[in-house]
Structure formats: C-alpha cells, structure tokens
Chains A and B, each alone.
Chain A
Amino acid sequence: MEESDLITSDWCPGCGDFGILRSEESVLKELGIPLQNIVIVSGIGCSGKTSQFVNSSISGIHTLHGRALPFATGIKVANPNLEVVVNVGDGDGLGIGAGHFVNAGRRNLDMTVLLHDNGVYGLTKGQAAPTLKLKEQVKSMPRPNINGEINPIMLALASGYTFVARGYAYDVPGTKELLKAAIKHKGSALIDILQPCPTYNDINTKEWYEKRIYKMTDLDPVVNTPGESYTKIANAIVRAGEWEEKIPLGLFYKNETVTTYEERISANIPNYISYSPAVQQIERNGVPATLIEKLLSSRRVITD
C-alpha cells in the first residue's frame, strides 16, 4: 500500500472519546456478524471523528454537523440488513441536530445512538453546548451560560426512543454492557454517555463525576405491555432529574412493544427486508426491470 488506510485518532489526551470508541469497536467485533456489514455514522465535532478512527473492517461515515441521524436513516432504510451505530455529540445531536434527534425517536428504526455528552463544543474551543447548565461557566466561556439545559434522557423518552440509558465514558465495562443491550434491542436506542472534556470543561471533571455517579438497581425500566409505557416513562423521568448530588447510570427505559420502522415499512412492502432497496435488481443487461404498463394504463385515454 502506498498509503495507510488507517488513521490515528487525534483527540486530546484523556478525552472520553477514546473510551467510547474502544467500547464501541470491541462490542461490534463481538457481535458475530461480518464487520463489513457494520456502519458507524457520525456528525461533526470531536465525537464526529469516531467514524474516521475505527481501526477495523467496520465502515465509517463522517457526515455533516447535526445530520448524522438522517444519514443513518437513509443507510438503514435502504439496507435494513446493515448494523448501524450513530455517534453524535451533545452540540451536534441536541443543538444543531435537535430536530433530527426528536424525529428519529418517532420512527423507532432498529439502530443505536451514542450521545457523547460533555457539555461543550470542543472542536470550536469550548463554547457552551446544550447540556451545560444555566449560569455555569466553563473555562473558555467569556460569561456564564444564559441558555438553559436539555436533559437528553427526558428528551429521548418524550421523543419515542424505546431504549434509553446512561453510561460514563471512563467506565468501559459498563458502557460496553449498555451498548450490547442497546444493539440487541429492537428499535431506536439512545445511550447518553457522560464524558469529561479535560481541555474545556473544568466543571464536570472526572473527579466531579466520580463523586456522583452510581448504578441504578431499584428502577424497573422494562415495558411488558403497551399500557405500562406512560408509567415507566414517568418513573424514568423522575430518575433522570437527579443531578447535583447523585447521577444515576444504567437503563432508564426499554419498550419492545412498539413496532420498529422496519416492521411498519414491511406492512406495506412484504418482502422489504429480504429484497430491500439496496439489493434489488433494477435492470437486466441494462434493460429496466420495472414494468410500468399498469401505471400507464390508468392514464390512457379511453375511447369507445
């Protein structure tokens, strides 16, 4: 090879992105599916580089700021047999991409979204991102934050994600476990991964987090019948409100009674999964394979 097909990650030393990528790659490799059938899609920002830094046969699509979810949707819908994992930052996914974040929840496509949640726009030098609290001021901000914060867990629950969890970037085993469950889950899964930014976030540091985080053991997050969903969402929202003293990690909500987007499309197109848009034979030696005679006949002028 005249040049390398590998690329060296260029995140800051101590960045939580290393831990997320390590967890992600190792879980994906353990899935037992051919690696070329896995696609990592990411947005723009430090988290966005995840798709570029994958050092295996997994494909990576580095998209546009805020647009990772529409890109992931196109790939997954066109070829539902691909395994799609999305990496977005909190600025990327909840700021510029908030509309897509909400609407992806409505679809419930079978894919996993990892939210790199560090409260700052790192790559543009530390401005406030949507999860940074009101009045907080991390070190490169000229003044305290005058915008309120988004709670990603609550937003995901309200948007329709059917698997909602929270992890911590430096806890590689814990993140791996959540990720495995998220990928196995049938439907859209969101993992909010709390992540210190050692360069720009001097408030939510490793020490700050590690004093507060704990794993939930007393929440029953699984919806067994559709009727339970609102109660379980309500319970999850109460726990998602914990922050200043204690920060819960683990699974907040899981609901497999909701149909996936793939199932909804299959209701209209019975062979959608086996004969998806990506694999259809649309021509035979160049001759279009689609027969349009019936569509034409409805427009034919009728003569008596």
Chain B
Amino acid sequence: MINMVRITWVIGGPQGTGVDTSANLFGDAIARSGYYIFGNREYYSNIKGRHSYFTLTVSDQPTRSISDDIDILATFEAETVFQHFRQVKGVLIYDKNMEGMKLSNMAFLENEIKKDVREVLSKHGYEESVKGVLDYLKNAGIPVIAVDYDAQLTKIMNEVNLSSTVVGRAKNVIAVSVSFGLLGLDKKFLLSAVSSMFKKEEYQKINSRAVEYGISLVQSQYGLKELKIDGTRLRVDGNYMSAMGKILGGLRLQTYYPITPASDESDYIEANQMLEMENENQDLRKAGAVVLQMEDEIAAVNTAISATLTGARASTATSGPGFSLMAEGIGWAGMNEAPVVVTYYMRGGPSTGLPTRSGQTDLKFAINVGHGEFPRIIIASGDHLEVFNDSFMALNLAERYQTPVIHLIEKTLANSYSIIDESTFNYNPLRISRGKLTKGSDNYKRFEFSDDGISPRAFLGSCKMSYTGDEHNQFGHISEEVNNRFNMYEKRMKKLETADKEIPERERINVYGNPDADTMILTWGSSKLPVLDALDMIKNDGIDIGMLQIKMFSPFPRNTVRKLLENKQSIIAVESSYMAQGAQVVTENTRIEPTHYILKWNGRMITRDEIYKSVRRIKSGATKRVVLNGGV
C-alpha cells in the first residue's frame, strides 16, 4: 500500500476560462486509463476572472483526499503561478509568454497573498515576477516546463482555419496534454476523452490537435502504465449522489432557492425530471418529479412541507443562510409531524461567510434549529457513497418517524468528485418504507395517541383532517388544555425515543482502523476522508490507531460511542470548525471529552498530510490542539 501511486495534479486559472472543463477532461482520461481520482474544486464567489483551481489526486487505489504538495502544477496564466508555486514539489508547466508578468500587475490577487509571495521572493533576491518564481523553483531543483501556448495555438489556427477566439479555448487542453504526457499514459485515453467531451466536429479537431502538440512537448516522467479495470466504475460528486438517492427514494417534489453549493442538486433533478418507473401499466412507466424554484428559502421549506401532507415525498436543499430562514418552517413540520427532508450543504459562515468554501460549523445549529422542542433526525454523510445512501434513507426516516430529517453534506463533498467501483454502489438491497399509513375515516385523528408516539398518517384528499402550528388535540384542532398539552407534547417527543430504539446504533457510526487502539480519532462528515487516507501512514509509523465517525447525531448512538471511547489514552477530535461541534455533541451525550484536537476553519479541505503531521505532533506530546491553515 505504501508504494502505491499517488500523484497530485493541480490546474488553475481565472473563473470562466474552462478550468473545470479541463480538469474534467484530464480526470476522464485518467479514469479511462484505469486509475482512481479524488478531485477537489476551489473557487471564489465570482462568475468571471477570480482564481479557481482543481486539485486531483491520481492513484492506483481508491482515494478520497488531497495532499499538501503538488506534483504537477498546470498553468496557462500568471496568477496561478503566484498562487501555488510554493506548493510545487514536482514540476511547473507555465506559459513562456508570461515570464515578464509582474506580481504587482495581478489585479485579482489578494493583497495578503501578494505580501506573502513578495516576502518569499525578495528574501532570496528574486524579482517579483513569473521569472522570479521560475528562478526560485530552479534554485530549489524543481523543473519548469515552458509552453509557448500562442505559438501552438497559431499552428492549430492555421491548420483548421478558424478564428483565434475559437481556437484560443484549446489553451487549457494543451496544459492538460503536457501533464498527461508527463504521466506517460497512452495518448489514446486523452483523445477518446476529448471526443466524448466535445460534440462539435470543429472542437474535436482543434482539441485533438492540442492533445497531439501538448503530449509531443514532453517525455514521460512518471512512467504510469494503463491499469486493467475489473467491473465498472462511476464518476460521482456529492450533489449528484444526493440527487440520485432522492430520485431512487421516490422524491417527487423538490423545492429550492438558488444558493451555493446546494443548487446543483436541484438543477440535476430538474434536468432529469422525467423518470422511468417500473409499472404494469404502460402509461405509468414515465413519471415526473417536480422541481420548484421558490421566491426564498422560507417559501422553499414550507412548500416542501405542505407537499408531504398530500403523500408526495418532498424535500428542499439549501445552505447556511437559507437554512437560517427555514427555522420557523421546520418547527411547523415538527409540530405537525410532517415528513420533510432538508438537505443542508454546509459552507463557511457566519452570515454570507465563505459562500464557495467548506466548513462543519452548522452541526449544532441543525440539531437545535427552531424554537420549542420537537424531534428531528440529523444525518451527516462522510463520503460520496454515504451521501447517496443517507439521502435515500432520509426519506424513509422522515416518513417512519413523521418528523423533519436534516441531512448534512459539506461543500467539500458536494463539489468534489471521486471515481468509485460500481461494485461498492450496490443499491439493490435498498427498500422504501413509508411508515404508518391509513386511508383515513370520518372521525380520523391525524395525531392519535399511540405507544410509540407515531400516529397513522392519511394524505390530504382521503378524508377530513386538520393541521395547525398551535398546540392541538388528536384531531389537529387548536387546544391549550393542560392535559392535552401534556400528552401531545410527550407523544411527539416519544418518537425520537422510538427512533433511538429502532435504528441500530452500529448503523449510526463507522469504525475504521483498530477500535481497540489506545488512540482514537473522533470525526464526522468529510473530515473522515483525509483521516481515512492517512490511517495507513500513521500505522506505518508504529502508531496503533482507530477512527470513529459519527453518522447520525440525533438520535445519538450514545451507548456504542461511549463504549468505543471510554478508557482511551487519547481521543483526537478532527473537524473543520473552531469549536469542534461534533465532539461537543459527543461530550453532551457520553460525558467523554476529547484529549486532543485537530481543527481547521479556513474553508479549505483538510489534507491527508495535515492529518498525518498533526497526529505525529500530538503523539510526540508537543500539543493538545493543532490548528491547520493549509490551502490556497
């Protein structure tokens, strides 16, 4: 395992110039060659011009994380060079015509970064330009590859006889191709990826030339060989997996108000809203999932909640600012026992915060959302497969316990993608369970008292029923009478106890590594990914270690978690927050506190190396709390 292939490739450029497209193209070609990928996307809250970049980990093993160092940095303008050169340990690909670009001329580069770069360069006496960076790298023994993009593009332009604006877009493809050439993989994979990506014949022609030219500029440095793929593989991201879980789970009404990074999920469902269904009746083999773009998140949540009263499975997807607006509606759903699912894509807060960056800072907000007490189920996915399964399961749990379910996914999971073996994506055993249902009757009691707190649910249209956000009697009519309040309150709360009894605690957590080890990492959400990839490195250093991932925070799996954490020498909480909210919830429920913390709140994904180095520091006794600040 330790000798496995793990290469970090980064491509960057101004937003709106095809950075995503080129990263997808490169990733597709790599995947076709038989390698696994984890790709993390970083971008500003901006449409055109600001720096965006993609980090791809290429490996012969399934991979879930990114590294600190860059093996190949592919650039086609100057800002990316300035942003990332300090991370390059392998090779830099740059535009020969940009050598004279000065740091001071970088309009979008933030002053703080300029200052840092200036310090690094001037300390060593290099000029504050791309040329200075090149000298800096050369002095450090890092090779640089100059590409004359303009000359290459002119050659292509003359051959295909098309305008420079059309041909100019192939610049990134040249950068991709040079990178591909360095890896040493057969160019046929990149050429076939080009023909899948570009449908228009002229674009295929231009980009195929770009591939030929790019690859011919370099020799293989990494000597990668094509790997045989057993079975099939899928390219998945968090938005897609959440949408797929919902679609398979029978979601038929999704509402949203545009917000990053949640909207892509709703867009996907809408784009694919005519679904194929199994049915004897020919007319019912196609059915629609309605997606409603509402005027705000208040409307979005309440529209989804009311749709559930008709029997439709309904949900909404949002991020922090939107969820803040949904609080009152979620309370209504709790009071009226409406099975709504809210998919909550966490980003950096508070307020607008870091709209396009990640964070795990809203867990306690989700757990405590809304005034008053009512049961809510809180699920937090840790990887792309879990996003799918949890998204499917959330719809079941909402209907089984007739209460809101909040599904937490971070921006890191939403916007990153991975190549997974389809054999791990086995959805055949999944079953839809709609909970206690009834056709209703003349004197139907929507909120009938029962031992488990759950009342048989009838859909609007089947009989008379009544709902209100006020305290109500079993018929759903307003009642402030003391005994009714006492009993109805208890009935609602009892549902969480029922859920706690019925959902096996073992299914609410994941354990990796050695659960009996003295050292246990305690984590949740996407922070699981770098930890998981670092576990082997840590073990190889002779550190016996286990990892506990909390997947469901309400109802909390307190007995199992307590057992796994009690009498540990060290418990290291790893989270993307300042407060370590997940660990706080663990302490609240088990009275066990972490002994150490690894925390990151700068909005960037925790890397595998950060975990490895931090655990080493902690185990050496150097510190109780490691705060990370890596990334660009």
Residues of A within 8 A of B (CB): 1, 3-7, 35-37, 39, 41, 44, 49, 51-52, 56-64, 67, 69-75, 77-79, 81-82, 99-100, 102-103, 265, 268-272, 274-284, 286-292, 294-296, 299-304
Contact = CB atoms under 8 A, between A and B. Distances in A.
A299 B234 contact: yes
Given A6-B477, A78-B314, 7 more contacts: A5-B445, A57-B463, A71-B303, A102-B295, A272-B288, A277-B314, A278-B460
A299 B272 contact: no
Interface residues of B, number: 89
Nearest to A2: B474
Given A78-B252, A299-B234, A300-B234, A277 B290 contact: yes
Interface in B313-358: 313-314, 328-329, 332
- Which are the 10 A-B pairs with shortest beta-carbon distances? A282-B250, A269-B288, A74-B306, A277-B252, A277-B312, A62-B468, A283-B432, A103-B295, A74-B303, A78-B307
B299 A100 contact: yes
Interface stretch (B100-108, B169-177, B241-249): B241-249
Given A35-B464, A82-B461, A74 B255 contact: yes
A81 B460 CA distance: 11
Contacts of A278: 252, 307, 310-312, 459-461
B309 interface: yes
A78 B196 contact: no
Interface stretch (B277-285, B576-584, B603-611): B277-285
Contacts of A72: 306
B288 A75 contact: no
Contact of B234 (A4, A301, A303): A301
B150 interface: no
Nearest to B241: A299
A35 to B, nearest CB: 7
Contact of A77 (B189, B233, B253): B253
Most chain B CB within a 10 A radius of its CB, from A1, A67, A301, A303: A301
B278 to A, nearest CB: 5
A266 B247 CA distance: 19
Nearest to B27: A301
16 contacts: A3-B475, A6-B477, A44-B469, A62-B478, A63-B469, A70-B300, A100-B295, A271-B284, A272-B290, A277-B289, A281-B279, A283-B250, A288-B249, A296-B422, A300-B233, A301-B28
Interface of B: 28, 31-32, 34, 188-189, 192, 196, 229, 232-236, 240, 244, 247-250, 252-253, 255, 272-279, 283-284, 286-290, 292, 294-296, 298-300, 302-307, 309-314, 328-329, 332, 419, 422, 427, 430-434, 440, 442-443, 445, 459-470, 473-475, 477-478
Contacts of B432: 282-283, 286-288
Nearest to B477: A7
Main secondary structure of the interface of B (DSSP, over half): mixed
Contacts of B277: 280-281, 289-291
A142 to B, nearest CB: 28
A18 B289 CA distance: 40
A247 B466 CA distance: 37
Contacts of B474: 3
Contacts of B283: 271, 274-275
Nearest to A49: B478
B276 A291 contact: yes
B227 to A, nearest CB: 10
Contacts of A64: 302, 328-329, 332, 469
Contacts of B468: 51-52, 61-62
B310 A287 contact: no
Contacts of A77: 253, 290, 292, 303, 307
Contact of B252 (A1, A75, A280): A280
B434 A283 contact: yes
Given A271-B288, A275-B287, A301-B233, A82 B276 contact: no
Given A5-B443, A70-B306, A290-B248, A299 B236 contact: yes
Given A36-B462, A70-B294, A299 B443 contact: no
Contacts of A277: 252-253, 288-290, 307, 310, 312-314
Contacts of A294: 276
Given A271-B287, A290-B276, A282 B460 contact: no
Given A73-B303, A272-B290, A277-B312, A304 B188 contact: yes
Contact of A304 (B192, B236, B419): B192
A300 B328 CA distance: 41
A45 to B, nearest CB: 12
Contacts of A99: 295-296, 299
Given A275-B284, A278-B461, A288-B432, A52 B478 contact: yes
Contacts of B312: 78-79, 276-278, 280
Most chain A CB within a 10 A radius of its CB, from B34, B247, B278, B461: B461
B206 to A, nearest CB: 21
A77 B254 CA distance: 11
Nearest to A304: B192
A1 B443 CA distance: 8
Nearest to A71: B306
Contacts of B296: 99
A70 B467 CA distance: 15
Given A36-B464, A58-B464, A61-B309, A74 B478 contact: no
A82 B460 contact: yes
A3 B310 CA distance: 26
B286 to A, nearest CB: 7
Contacts of B478: 7, 49, 52, 62
B470 A57 contact: no
Nearest to B253: A277
B311 A279 contact: yes
A62 B467 CA distance: 6
A227 B195 CA distance: 48
Contacts of B235: 299-301
Contact of B273 (A73, A102, A269): A269
B466 A59 contact: yes
Contacts of B192: 302, 304
B286 A271 contact: yes
A191 to B, nearest CB: 22
Given A77-B307, A280-B277, A291-B277, A39 B460 contact: yes
Contacts of A279: 311
B272 A295 contact: yes
A286 B396 CA distance: 11
Contacts of A82: 310, 460-461
Nearest to B186: A304
A43 to B, nearest CB: 10
A295 B234 CA distance: 11
Most chain A CB within a 10 A radius of its CB, from B192, B294, B306, B475: B306
Nearest to B234: A299
A80 B32 CA distance: 46
Contacts of A79: 310-312, 460-461
Nearest to A81: B461
Given A67-B329, A292-B247, A36 B310 contact: no
Nearest to B467: A61
B305 to A, nearest CB: 7
B279 A289 contact: yes
Given A61-B309, A61-B467, A301-B235, A268 B461 contact: no
Given A37-B461, A79-B460, A265 B290 contact: yes
Nearest to B419: A301
B526 to A, nearest CB: 20
Contacts of B434: 283
Nearest to A285: B431
B472 to A, nearest CB: 9
A37 B477 CA distance: 19
Contacts of B459: 278
B331 to A, nearest CB: 9
B27 to A, nearest CB: 10
Contacts of A71: 302-303, 305-306
